[in-house]
Amino acid sequence: MTSPALETRRLSKSFGALVVTNEVDFKLERGARHALIGPNGAGKTTFINLITGRIPHSAGCVLLDGEDVSALPQEARVKRGLGRTFQINTLFPDLSVLENVVMAVSERQGRGGDLFRPAGSRRDIIDEAYDLLERLRLADDALRPVRTIAYGRQRLVEIAIALGLKPKVLLLDEPAAGVPSAETALILDVMAELPAEMAVLIIEHDMDLVFRFARRITVLVQGAVLTEGSPAEILADPRVREVYLGERRHD
């Protein structure tokens, strides 16, 4: 039996007495299209940060491809195929869109530390980054500094950088956050074209997007898994309505 692309076992995080992630058992299968939902403050982003190693966990473990990576620093987990995007744009604002992606491709190929060969001489890296921009319909903005392009397109650069890492597991932290609803279609298009073998976990508040994209959904409430199932099961689950969907009606 093959191991899941990503797995957490009893993963926990507490700040003093405050438990923000509570013994989460979670499996992300290969090629999964999985969504993590839950009310504000449920600990979704914390869960992502624990998986990537951005913050240290308190107990439990994280497995990538069946191997325990809990003790590894962020960069080692990235090298093992874990890519992520950020809820708040985390880009290189003064660099061009193309350079933003080149940076990721260059690191993935292990060339980021090269001291003397000009970065420009690695045409293969730049070509690969540019191809990615074309796929994400960002090629027109290739030379513009990231801070000067529209917010919705900056969200696409977030995804482009993560894809430049050719991850086996991609964690998308609210890819459509702050994007006007008219433009979310663009992001959904890009997500629909992600390679089939890539395991994708998405955190999203836009339920429309979640139900169109995800084939499995996990509901996180107060740092613990409430339930997991297919979109239909989640929609039908009265507990989910109570804590999550019901709450939205009061917004």
Partner 1 sequence: MTKLDRRTAAVHPVDHIAHSHRLRWPEALPWLLIAATYLLFPSYLALGSQVLIMVLFALSLDLVLGYAGIVTLGHAAFFGLGAYTAGLLAAHGWSEPISALFAAAVVAGAFGAASGAIILRTSGLTLLMLTLAVVSLLAEAANKADSITGGADGLQGIVINPLLGRFDFDLYGRTAYLYCAAVLLVMWYVVRRLVHSPFGRSLTGIRENRLRMHAIGAPVRRRLVTAYAIGAAVAGVAGALQAQTTQFVALNVISFHLSAAVLIILIFGGAGRLYGAFVGAPIYMVAQDMLSRLDPVYWFFWVGLLLVLVVLFARGGILGCVDGVRRRWP
55-81 burial by CB neighbour count: b if 16+ within 10 A, else e?
eebeebebbbbeeebbebeeeebbeeb
Least Cβ distance, residue 117 to partner 1 (angstroms): 6
Residue 62 or 103 having the CB closest to partner 1: 103
**Binding piece for partner 1, criterion CB under 8 A, among 55-63, 103-111, 198-206, 236-244:** 103-111
Among 1, 18, 120, 251, binds partner 1 (CB under 8 A): 120
Residue 150: CA count within 13 A, CB half-sphere: 8
**Alpha carbon distance 28, 50 (integer Å):** 15
**Binding piece for partner 1, criterion CB under 8 A, among 115-123, 176-184, 186-194, 225-233:** 115-123
Paired with 169 in beta bridges are 82, 199
Angle between helices 151-163 and 123-135 in degrees, nearest 10: 130
Least Cβ distance, residue 107 to partner 1 (angstroms): 5
Residue 5, token pair as written in the block: 């692309």
Q: Is 51 in the site for partner 1 (CB under 8 A)?
A: no
Neighbours of 239 (CB within 10 A): 13
Residue 25 or 124 having the CB closest to partner 1: 124
Binding string to partner 1 for residues 1 to 40, with x set by CB under 8 A, is what?
A: ----------------------------------------
Neighbours of 40 (CB within 10 A): 7
φ/ψ of residue 247, rounded to 5: -60, -35
Q: For residue 201, give the 3-state DSSP assignment.
A: strand
Q: Is 84 in the site for partner 1 (CB under 8 A)?
A: yes
Among 118, 182, 197, 251, binds partner 1 (CB under 8 A): 118
Hey, which residues between 130 and 169 contact partner 1 (CB under 8 A)? 130, 139, 142-143, 161, 164-165
The number of residues that bind partner 1 (CB under 8 A) is 47
In degrees, rounded to 5, the angle at the alpha carbon of residue 182 between the alpha carbons of residues 176 and 183 is 45
Residue 203, token pair as written in the block: 């955190």
| Interacting residues toward partner 1 by CB under 8 A | 52, 54, 74-76, 78-79, 83-84, 86, 90-96, 98-99, 102-104, 106-108, 111-123, 126-127, 130, 139, 142-143, 161, 164-165
